Structure 1
């Protein structure tokens, strides 16, 4: 059953492409479908976030500190080095604030969900991946406003108002609290673990539903933003390459074993588009492209993970000596 879910996650990019295509077709051919999709988008997105947060060990933050070296390297990469790389990349983009803000939003926050699945598929260190995820989640929620203030002051000045931030915070905070409460309820009795296991299947179909609804509700924006893709796709590809090189440099500098190095590579290469999508969708008129940029990054990232699954195990080879080094 577990292998079946991982097989589904291997093919998720094609499921999302199909969802986008179906959404564009529905929005283009069915009058009134866009308004219905817009109403459904928020509750489906909330369910997606709940399913995602439920897989993150929110109540076990302390356990992440047991391996200070790996956690420290992961935090250095995710919250110092990669943000600096993103800042440099964004400076090369056109001056359109919606494009720049969309790229910053999606590339500044590390993934807390499917990077664990990809780590497992690539033979990485899954326990350490699980341990670092709640730290990643807490720090990104705290640091994202600071990053945006430093890197996109002109874009966000006068833009981030209570009307914009409140719905986005609500759509993230409610599933986060619900997931924490559910985790405590699940942990109280071993027999309830099946609840979390069943929800582990939900992110792929729920994200497919989200991209379908986004494409349906924003069909004109999506089609009108196709000329944006040649600008942002090379940035997303360059980010993946930079993540792999940064992981290689950090692993060598701190003498990480191959399995931990693989985990680091996937941790640096994957981003948390689920968390920032509500903020992008809450932006005022004229910034609709930001959400399209985030969806585009998700697809590029997933295609990139297919390459990572072949490349990263070769770059960080395991062997008798490497295994003994752990």
Structure 2
């Protein structure tokens, strides 16, 4: 199996991992408590391997279309937060669910969308160029967004949890290590081989993380099944709205069809697994936030299967 084939089949892999995790959690209720200790090291490895695939060392040298960059930044970091604010009105009135939705929908993906862009015949170079800019902007803006949406509730959650340390330890530190690894790879061929080897890790490690979370949170997942239809509505509407937003912005800024496809996948894919550490670090009564993020990632992946047909054939032919 090639890496591209692995990524194309990731939805099936994650569904199997979650199913096995739920079955294991029901049959062996204590298994989750033994496996939970592995979640944090796995998340660190997941984020480090993901960040190494985003070009961080040559940001100043990359060439990009100013109009495309304007559309991508304004769409992701101005218009989408407004869309999310509207969709929150349709979500269950539960603080854990609300923070889960905010964490997962406010930050764009920095790696999956490149793969989907390539599969849909989009401008992959523009996608690669935007990825590190997107990553840096979301790291800077996410605390601001959460404070605007949640106010004192977010401040209290942050003060009573390891959320800040999770952000530093599992996002900032892997980001710095990824940058250092890329600098090393510029001078040493072994570094390039190492980065290519790490490209296999995100799908495999995320499947392991989903298995452990499903097995350890099985009781919460089963208790929250009634919430899934309303969450499905929020996440499906999000995909439809942002796809149409990509079409409108593309027309207004006179972007090519290939660039429009990049916008559609950038707006549609969210950084779900990068937000998982923050959700896991929330206080004990916020476990539902983790369920929300995992469920959104599954809805998104199914949505991307539809996007792979709809975007190049209908939305941006």
Q: TM-score, normalised by structure 1?
A: 0.93
Question: Which shows bigger deviation, 183-192 or 262-271?
Answer: 183-192
- In the TM superposition, residue 209 of structure 1 has moved relative to its aligned partner by 0.5
The residue number in structure 2 matching 1:272 is: 271
1:164 is aligned to 2:162: yes
Name the CA shift for 1:293/1:101 in 2 (closer, same or farther; >3 Å): same
TM-score (norm 2): 0.95
Asked whether the 8 Å contact 1:65–1:71 carries over to 2, the reply is no
Q: CA deviation at 1:27?
A: 1.7
* Cα distance, 1:92 vs structure 2: 2.3
Change (3 A) 1:43 1:256: same
Question: Structure 2: any 5+ residue segments left out of the alignment?
Answer: none
Q: Which residue of 2 aligns with 1:25?
A: 23
- 1:194 equivalent in alignment to 2:211: no
Other structure's SS at 1:255 match: coil
Aligned position for 1:75: 73
Q: Contact 1:119–1:263 (CA<8 Å) still a contact in 2? A: yes
SS in 1 for 2:305: helix
State the match for 2:150 in structure 1: 152
Q: Secondary structure at the match of 1:55?
A: coil
Query: 1:324 maps to what in 2?
Result: none
Partner SS for 1:59: coil
C-alpha separation in 1, matches of 2:153 and 2:222 = 24
Matched, 1:252 2:255: no
User: Equivalents in 2 of 1:200, 1:58: separation in Å?
Assistant: 15
* Conserved 8 A contact 1:64-1:135: no
Q: For 2:178 and 2:237, locate their aligned partners in 1 and report how far apart those are by CA, in whole Å.
A: 34
Deviation at 1:161, TM superposition (A): 1.2
Which runs of 4 or more aligned residues in structure 1 lie more than 4 Å from their structure 2 counterparts after TM superposition?
none
Q: C-alpha separation between the residues in 2 aligned to 1:309 and 1:212?
A: 27
1:11-42 Cα distance to aligned partner (Å, 9 max, x none): 11111011011111112222531112210111
Which moved further from structure 2: 21-30 or 121-130? 21-30
CA contact (8 A) 2:105 2:270 kept: yes
CA distance in 1, matches of 2:263, 2:29: 46
Q: Which moved more, 1:161-170 or 1:194-203?
A: 161-170
- Mapped to 2, the partners of 1:252 and 1:293 lie a distance apart of 33
1:256 aligns to what SS in structure 2?
coil
CA separation in 2, counterparts of 1:237 and 1:10? 21
Matched, 1:295 2:294: yes
How far apart, in 2, do the equivalents of 1:63 and 1:116 lie?
Answer: 19
Give the gaps of 5 or more residues in structure 1: 319-326
CA distance in 1, matches of 2:222, 2:20: 13
1:176 and 1:287 map into 2 onto residues whose CA distance is 26
Determine if contact 2:117/2:124 at 8 Å carries over to the other structure. yes
Instruction: Tell me how far 1:190 sits from its aligned partner.
Output: 4.4
Match of 2:7 in 1: 9
* Deviation for aligned residue 1:178: 1.5
1:174 Cα offset (Å):
2.2
RMSD: 1.5
Answer whether contact 2:161 2:283 (CA < 8 A) is retained: no
Contact 2:64 2:126 (C-alpha < 8 Å) held by counterparts: no
